[in-house]
Structure 1
Amino acid sequence: VNPIRRAALARLDRAYWRVVVVGAVFTLARFSEAFLVLRAQQVGIAASWVPLVMVAMNVVYAASAYPFGKLSDTVVHRRLLALGLLVLVVSDLVLAAADGWPVLLVGVALWGVHMGMTQGLLAAMVADTAPAVLRGTAYGFFNLLSGVAMLVSSAIAGLLWDGFGSAFTFYAGAGFATLALLVMLGFRWRA
């Protein structure tokens, strides 16, 4: 039985679908954090210290989520999302150039900041654009598409890593983040 009801999806308006498109392209830029761990290994971090990359990213993510969540109550969500996309671009560029622990840590910290800025924000944008009676459907479909996009982005990142190297993978992530920003800026957000 297919749980996705096309009639319910058809009742969601353009504003919601804009958020879905931006979220999907954004997720293509934000491949699995496992690539942060792989990058740490590649720049010569001792295997026993590599898990601290995820600890550092998550500490920054946790520390930044509340302040940026509070800020999102007072600013236009699209502006904050645009800033979060720019932070991801910078993070990817730093990670591409990383040649040791200090530079890698800066890139990882910026990745955590972008997570703190954007993850709750996308959920708020879904809520803002979906009618209350369809929010479950809206969140479900958004998360389904985000999951598929994450799978695709991680597969692409793995292929790029194997074929062209780690730096190229992070440059491609920066490119997808820039594309998401351009897509978002290209939309007319008023209904």
Structure 2
Amino acid sequence: MYAIVDIETTGGGGAARITEIAVFRHDGVQIVDFFHSLINPEIYIPPFITRLTGIDNEMVKDAPTFYEVQDAVRAMTRDAWFVAHNAKFDYGFIKKEFGAIDEYFQRDLLCTVQLSRKIFPGLKSYSLGNLCESLEIMIENRHRAHGDAEATVRLFEMLLSNDRQNLIPINLYQ
């Protein structure tokens, strides 16, 4: 199983928090489950983040906190590879949120940036937007967790089908 994840945050600094999360659970062939939610970060969302993501303080004021969605996130990622574009970023934020509730969160990581560099060498850029443009993958709702995670699912499926070097582990938990 693979848990293909994307988050949006209040920024990249140490005090930043998650504002949105999307997780697609994938069995290597197809999506088998999905979770998506805005998250109340319990801190202020700066205007430059709102301009980038479209997520503002008003949108998240009645959204659940991470604590309230933790069970869904845990269940969606359990016994699965944690897959994300720039995986350490998304994983680091989720790990930090679980740490704030005194829970150790550990998953095995697969980064679609690193995999793309090896499976599709020589592209001008490996940012999600440019990579998807090069591979003709549509991204709807760019810089939103659902749209970026969905594009990452399509990218991951292309990586799986083009992985001649067997870089992507399979059957880890089966």
More helix by share: 1
TM-score (norm 1): 0.29
Tell which structure's C-alpha radius of gyration is larger.
1
